[in-house]
Amino acid sequence: MTPAFLRTALAGAAAACLAVPAGAFTLGDNDALTLSGFASAVAGKVLSGQRQENYYRYPCPCFIADYGHGALYGPTWQVKQESKVGVQGTYAITPKLSATAQVVGRGVDGVKTRLEWAYLSYDVNDSWTVQLGRKRLPIYYYSDFQDVGYAYTWVRPPTDIYGWEIVNYNGINATYRADWAGWAVKSNVFFGREDSRGNLMQRLYYDDPQNVTWRKLFGGDLVLTRGILTTRATYIQNKVDQISQVDGTHDPEGGKQRIYGLAANMDIDRWFVRSEYSVFDRSAYSYRSRAYMVGAGGRFGDFTPMLTHTRYRERNRFTPDAIQHDRGWSATLRYELGASSALKVQWDHFKDLSGTDLSYVGTSKLLSVALDTVF
């Protein structure tokens, strides 16, 4: 654990101590300032793997755990890759207008605390809310609460699906909530842009630091919930610019991408199913990828076991032998530790089926242990 990460953890713990006596998590609408937070301590080790030589600067055998933040495990136990602390403050300026900021410190990031969320939120009426500022980019079902490990069963959402270089955006969004014939409807549309200097994910694919911009971002989603079923459909489009900080080469410049996604979740008594399907269409400049995951589990008192299968496949008409293609299985056991913490153990098997021209991470098995909490 780096001193910087320790400082972040201490800051988080201090904020938690301040927040807890006030009952921060359950404060009512009338309290002007609400402080809350979350933390995850995650340790991981690759048990075995195909690749023996380094993958860029990383020792192998190795396993990519979080593409978006460039978290990768090697053959020795590591705690900095996915451990994080987040602290959020919301100030109610009026009953309809509030300001929220959320900072997250990550071990993998070395650790500067970064502003993940900073927005003004205005309730126009009972159906519409408009928000302006910095937010997480809602590409997938779990994207906007991916940092909050306590809120899901896995140690991390399946990496085959959850992995792109941009995770936030600055812009404006409008959310609509209503009841349509018994279905709870939540729909969100947004516009924005994100500039990421020294992009964390591109550390996994390039030696030189890369600056990535997603501009002319426009997208929306529709979430329908009724009884045991929750479904989500999403569409996002934008232009991608990527520039090397070292030699200024563009890869790509202004390529258009389109993202399509579907998710369906079911909760039937103690049993549950989670599924998601996603398409990234970057055919304008190189490729198109498809990914899916399907998982199922059950709740038995304080224990929640779950099994998940994932698959990711690219198609590239220019360099068909350099595609990324992989499959994964994971087995997770979550245990409730008191009222707001969970202990998790997860075994992952990643099968690398990539093209012969892509020297990728290779097949590997990962064991991870996580302690997730909210405060």
Partner 1 sequence: MSTTRDGRLALVFALACGAAGAALAEPVLVVNAANAVPLDDEAAAKIFLRQVKTFPDGSPASPVNQKEGSTTEAFRSQVLKKNAAQFKAYWAQQVFTGGAKPPPEVDGDDAVLKFVAETPGGIGYVDSGKTRAGVRLIKR
CA 277 from centre of chain? 15
CB of 367 to partner 1, least distance (A): 24
Q: Which residue type is seen at 260?
A: Y
| 374 binding partner 1? (CB under 8 A) | yes
Shortest approach of partner 1 to residue 131 CB, angstroms?
6
User: Coil, helix or strand for 321?
Assistant: helix
Q: Which lies closer to partner 1 via its Cβ, residue 276 or residue 314?
A: 276
Q: Which of 54, 96, 97, 227 binds partner 1 (CB under 8 A)?
A: 227
| Residues 34 and 89: beta-carbon distance below 8 Å | yes
Pattern 256-295, partner 1, x by CB under 8 A = -----------x----------------------------
Binding segment for partner 1 (CB under 8 A), chosen from 11-19, 124-132, 159-167, 322-330, is 124-132
Q: Please name the amino acid found at residue 112.
A: K
Question: Which C-beta is closer to partner 1: that of 71 or that of 342?
Answer: 342
Which helix (H) or strand (E) segment holds residue 214: the answer is strand 210-226
Identify residue 358 by its one-letter amino acid code.
Answer: L
Which residue shows structure tokens 């600055």? 170
Closest C-alpha to 172, from 120, 126, 102, 215: 120
Binding flags for partner 1, 41-80, as an x/- string (CB under 8 A): ----------------------------------------
Distance CA 218, CA 237 (A): 6
Q: Is the peptide bond before 61 cis (omega within 30 degrees of 0)?
A: yes
Based on the number of CB atoms within 10 Å of its own CB, is 231 exposed (0-12), middle (13-18) or buried (19 or more)? middle
Total of chain residues touching partner 1, rule CB under 8 A: 44
Backbone angles phi, psi at 107, to 5 degrees: -60, -40
Residue holding tokens 């812009």? 171
Figure out which of the listed residues 225, 231, 237, 244 binds partner 1, where binding follows CB under 8 A.
225
Within 8 A by CB and 6+ apart from 28, the residues are none
Q: Which ranges in the chain belong to alpha helices (H)? A: 3-19
Supply the Cα-derived Rg of the chain in whole angstroms.
20
CB of 28 to partner 1, least distance (A): 3
Listed ranges 54-62, 75-83, 145-153, 277-285: which one lies at the site for partner 1 (CB under 8 A) = 145-153
For partner 1, which residue of 63, 150, 169, 214 counts as binding (CB under 8 A)?
Answer: 150
Residues 171-210, one symbol each (x = binds partner 1 by CB under 8 A, - = not), give ------xxx--x-x-x------------------------
Among the listed residues 39, 41, 148, 291, the single contact to partner 1 using CB under 8 A: 148
Query: Encoding tokens for residue 204?
Result: 């996994």
Residues that bind partner 1 (CB under 8 A): 25-30, 36, 38, 86, 88, 100, 102, 117, 119, 121, 126-127, 131, 135-136, 144-145, 147-148, 150-152, 177-179, 182, 184, 186, 225-227, 267, 299, 302, 336, 339-340, 342, 374
